[in-house]
């Protein structure tokens, strides 16, 4: 029976073997009264706790999760809890965008001798969960369909890159090509209204290179598979952040990559363009001007202005020029102001927790589990060992439920914490148009707020925040159980 009034709830506790489990034991030996809602999982160290343990518990019926380890500085393995502290803090800031009340998860530090502190922490946390009540089940969430408002002001004029030095770029590629196995760029795809990656190996291939707002693919995705070969890549500003991030993580070698850059004026949201074009037999003409593109399909002209049809990420893009480049052509338009909240994330910010839960449930019911989001992601590099397909450990079942699909998306987003450069390839590749970039954007916001404005992919020499720690964390506050 719970010592708290009312129904016993389901609380999962992950306790480090060396301190907090001992603290709970000390409280028990001292016969300190404790609520009985908690089910303890003993782990070797708080550093062993993957945030997916907590998310799985919360999405599969736990009403609350409590993590407790040794005090910072006292970890049996010296540093495990310092790393854990950063991961757990980011997870706590991530939960609200999922529609999960962040008060359902707490982490704390309790030593083996602190039986009283354990009693206080577990009692206060259980009270907190009882006040919140039983957690809503994801599968029972209501239907909620809402679409982000894309009417935003960009940080710089968006355009179609009509004055880009394409001829100079082609010349530079032809000059470098003899030293390289391949140069990756863009070419016209199955029709003039779409582009596709181009792998240039011979000078005649370079003629197929195109530049403009239809060049939506982030070509950095292909770089890891060329590791060990000499390869060139044409980048937009956002793509160059992915190249920098791959260098930072040692996934490619700087000496093997030649980066060609041109200033980006924005890319088009192909999902909305395809929707506007509808079913067509033939593209008759694609005409560009400074402000947009006119596409004539089956004799009917469609006008797409950049300020209305750019990808959401372009409105808040502060890197129109490449972060790093070996051959740099043209000058990017200066950025004015600070980036606004991206439209998809702004939509979620405007919702209540229960609305976000309903929103994601409605979206995840549409997911067909094709993993295009993962495959298009330049930072998703452990594909053969992906948690989505692993049978050992078997974290995800193949069930076609919204919960399992949402769990995959949350894991994917967490694996990108401090790594996602916001290129939006996950969302662009999604065949059913689920706005999953918002999950990565919330993680990026939490990382920036917690780690002094850190932005992934800006400096190849920087240590990603979740791969390091500081003994004193300026923006991470320890939970005060006396409040
Ligand atoms: Fe307790 Fe690492 S051993 S947190």
pLDDT in tens, 358-402: 999 999 999 999 999 999 999 998 867 888 888 888 888 888 999
> ∠ CA 314-315-319 to the nearest 5 degrees?
55
How do 195-200 and 182-188 pair as beta strands?
A: antiparallel
DSSP-assigned letter for residue 316: T
Among residues 466, 469, 463, 470, the alpha carbon closest in space to that of 245 is found at 463
> pLDDT higher for 296 or 160?
296
Confidence class for position 151, pLDDT limits 50, 70, 90:
low
Ligand 1 binding residues, C-beta < 6 A: 16, 18-19, 45-47, 69-70, 75-77, 80-81
pLDDT digits (tens, 9 = 90+) for 162-194: 888 999 999 999 999 999 999 999 999 999 999
Ligand 1 binding pocket mutation candidate from 41, 68, 69 (most atoms within 8 A of CB) = 69
Which has the minimum average pLDDT: 4-8, 65-69, 338-342?
Answer: 4-8
Residue 104 belongs to what H/E stretch?
none
Strand (E) positions, 318-477?
327-328
SS3 62: coil
Burial class of 442 by CB neighbour count within 10 A (0 to 12, 13 to 18, 19+):
buried
Q: Which atom of ligand 1 is nearest to the CA of 69?
A: 4
Could you tell me the distance, in angstroms and rounded to a whole number, from the CA of residue 79 to the centre of ligand 1? Answer: 8
On whether the CB atoms of residues 175 and 439 are closer than 8 A, the answer is: no
* C-beta of residue 411 within 8 angstroms of C-beta of residue 55: yes
pLDDT surpassing 70 at residue 155: no
Report residue 7: phi and psi, to 5°: -70, 140
pLDDT tens-place string over residues 303-322: 999 988 998 888 888 888 99
Instruction: Report the separation in Å between the CA atom of 36 and the middle of ligand 1, taken as the mean of its atom positions.
Output: 24
Query: Is residue 3 predicted with pLDDT exceeding 70?
Result: no
Question: Which of 68, 78, 81 has most ligand 1 atoms within 8 Å of CB, for mutation?
Answer: 81
Provide DSSP, 393-409: S--S-----HHHHHHHH
pLDDT of 421 above 50: yes
Average pLDDT, integer, range 46-50: 96
Instruction: Give the separation between CA 318 and CA 413, rounded to whole angstroms.
Output: 22
| Token couple for 288 | 């560009």
CA 403–ligand 1 middle distance (angstroms): 31
Q: What domains can you pick out in the chain, each with its CATH number?
A: 11-135 (3.40.50), 166-328 (no CATH), 343-464 (no CATH)
Res. 150: pLDDT tops 80: no
| Spacing, Cα 395 to ligand 1 middle (Å) | 24
- The residue-averaged pLDDT of 84-112 equals 97
Give the pair of three-digit tokens for residue 461: 């020499």
- Residue 47 alpha carbon, nearest atom of ligand 1: 2
Rounded-to-integer distance, Cα 269 and Cα 17, Å: 50
Asked if pLDDT for residue 153 goes beyond 70, the answer is: no
The minimum-distance atom of ligand 1 relative to the CA of 75 is: 2
The stretch 6-27 carries a mean pLDDT of 94
pLDDT at 4 over 60: no
Ligand 1 mean position, distance from CA 465 (Å): 20
CA of 86 relative to ligand 1 center, distance in Å: 14
What is the rounded distance in angstroms from the CA atom of residue 90 to the CA atom of residue 454? Answer: 13
Which residues, in sequence order, are CB contacts of 308 under 8 Å at separation 6+?
A: 150, 151, 292
| Dihedral angle over CA of 230, 234, 236, 241, nearest 10 | 0
The C-alpha atoms of residue 57 and residue 46 are separated, in whole angstroms, by 16
Contacts of 107 by beta carbon, 8 Å cutoff, 6+ apart = 46, 66, 67, 68, 69, 84, 85, 88, 89, 92, 479
Mutation to probe ligand 1, out of 80, 109, 478 (largest number of atoms < 8 A from CB): 80
For residue 46, which atom of ligand 1 is closest to its CA? 4
Sheet arrangement for strand 283-288? 283-288, 292-297, 300-305
Q: Which of 77, 114, 478 to mutate to test the pocket of ligand 1 (most atoms within 8 A of CB)?
A: 77
- Strand bridging mode 283-288 / 257-261: unpaired
Residue 121 has pLDDT above 90, yes or no: yes
**Ligand 1 atom nearest 17 alpha carbon:** 1
Sheet of strand 64-69: strand arrangement = 38-43, 11-16, 64-69, 105-109
Q: What is the pLDDT of residue 5?
A: 62
41, 43, 47: residue to mutate for ligand 1 pocket, most atoms within 8 A of CB: 47
Ligand 1 atom closest to the CA of 80, numbered from 1: 2
- What's the CA-to-centroid distance between 18 and ligand 1, angstroms? 6
The whole-number average pLDDT for the span 66-70 is 98
240 backbone dihedrals φ, ψ, rounded to 5°: -65, -30
Ligand 1 midpoint to CA 454 (Å): 27
Sign of the four-CA dihedral 298, 300, 305, 308: negative
> What is the rounded distance in angstroms from the CA atom of residue 224 to the CA atom of residue 2?
53
Average predicted confidence (pLDDT) for the chain? 93
Report pLDDT for 148: 79
Q: What is residue 1's predicted lDDT score, i.e. its pLDDT? A: 42
Selection from 110, 109, 129 nearest residue 36 by Cα: 129
Residue 418, pLDDT above cutoff 80: yes
Tokens of 408: 């995959």
If you measure from the C-alpha of residue 188 to the centroid of ligand 1, how many angstroms do you get, rounded to a whole number? 55
Beta strand pairing call for 182-188 and 231-235: parallel
Ligand 1 mean position, distance from CA 160 (Å)? 54
pLDDT at residue 124 greater than cutoff 60:
yes
384-398 exposure pattern, b = at least 16 Cβ within 10 A, e = fewer: eebbbeeeeeebbee
Helices 51-59 and 80-98 cross at an angle (nearest 10°) of 30
Distance 124 CA to ligand 1 centre (A): 22
């Amino acid at each position: 029976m719970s010592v708290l009034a009312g129904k016993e709830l389901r609380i999962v506790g992950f306790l480090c073997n060396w301190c907090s489990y001992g603290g709970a034991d000390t409280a028990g030996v001292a016969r300190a009264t404790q609520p009985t809602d908690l089910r303890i999982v003993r782990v070797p160290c708080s550093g062993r706790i993957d945030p997916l343990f907590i998310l799985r518990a919360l999405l599969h019926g736990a009403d609350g999760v409590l993590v407790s380890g040794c005090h910072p500085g006292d970890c049996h393995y010296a540093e495990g809890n310092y790393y854990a502290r950063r991961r757990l803090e980011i997870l706590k800031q991530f939960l609200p965008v999922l529609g999960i009340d962040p008060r359902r998860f707490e982490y704390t530090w309790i030593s083996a001798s602190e039986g009283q502190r354990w009693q206080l922490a577990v009692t206060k946390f259980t009270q907190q969960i009882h006040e919140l009540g039983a957690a809503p089940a994801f599968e029972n969430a209501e239907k909620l369909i809402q679409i982000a408002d894309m009417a935003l002001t960009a940080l710089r004029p968006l355009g179609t890159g009509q004055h880009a030095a394409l001829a100079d770029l082609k010349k530079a590629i032809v000059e470098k090509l003899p030293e390289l196995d391949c140069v990756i760029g863009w070419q016209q795809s199955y029709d003039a209204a779409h582009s596709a990656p181009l792998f240039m190996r011979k000078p005649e291939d370079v003629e197929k290179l195109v530049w403009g707002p239809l060049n939506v693919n982030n070509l950095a995705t292909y770089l890891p598979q060329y590791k060990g070969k000499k390869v060139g890549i044409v980048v937009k500003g956002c793509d160059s952040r992915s190249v920098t991030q791959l260098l930072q993580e040692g996934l490619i070698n700087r000496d093997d990559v030649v980066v060609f850059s041109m200033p980006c004026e924005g890319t088009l949201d192909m999902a909305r363009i395809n929707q506007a074009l509808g079913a067509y037999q033939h593209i008759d003409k694609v005409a560009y001007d400074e402000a947009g593109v006119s596409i004539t399909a089956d004799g009917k002209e469609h006008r797409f202005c950049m300020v209305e049809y750019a990808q959401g990420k372009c409105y808040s893009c502060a890197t129109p020029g490449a972060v790093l480049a070996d051959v740099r052509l043209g000058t990017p338009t200066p950025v004015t102001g600070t980036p606004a909240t991206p439209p998809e994330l702004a939509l979620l910010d405007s919702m209540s927790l229960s609305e976000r839960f309903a929103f994601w449930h409605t979206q995840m019911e549409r997911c067909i589990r094709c993993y295009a989001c993962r495959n298009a992601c330049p930072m998703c590099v452990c594909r053969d060992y992906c948690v989505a397909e692993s049978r050992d450990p078997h974290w995800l079942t193949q069930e076609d439920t919204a919960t399992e699909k949402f769990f995959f998306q949350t894991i994917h987003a967490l694996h990108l914490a401090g790594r996602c450069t916001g290129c939006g390839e996950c969302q662009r590749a999604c065949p059913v148009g689920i706005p999953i970039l918002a999950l990565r954007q919330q993680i990026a916001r939490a990382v920036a707020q917690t780690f002094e404005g850190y932005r992934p992919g800006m400096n190849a020499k920087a240590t990603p925040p979740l791969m390091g720690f500081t003994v004193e964390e300026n923006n991470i506050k320890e939970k005060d159980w006396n409040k």
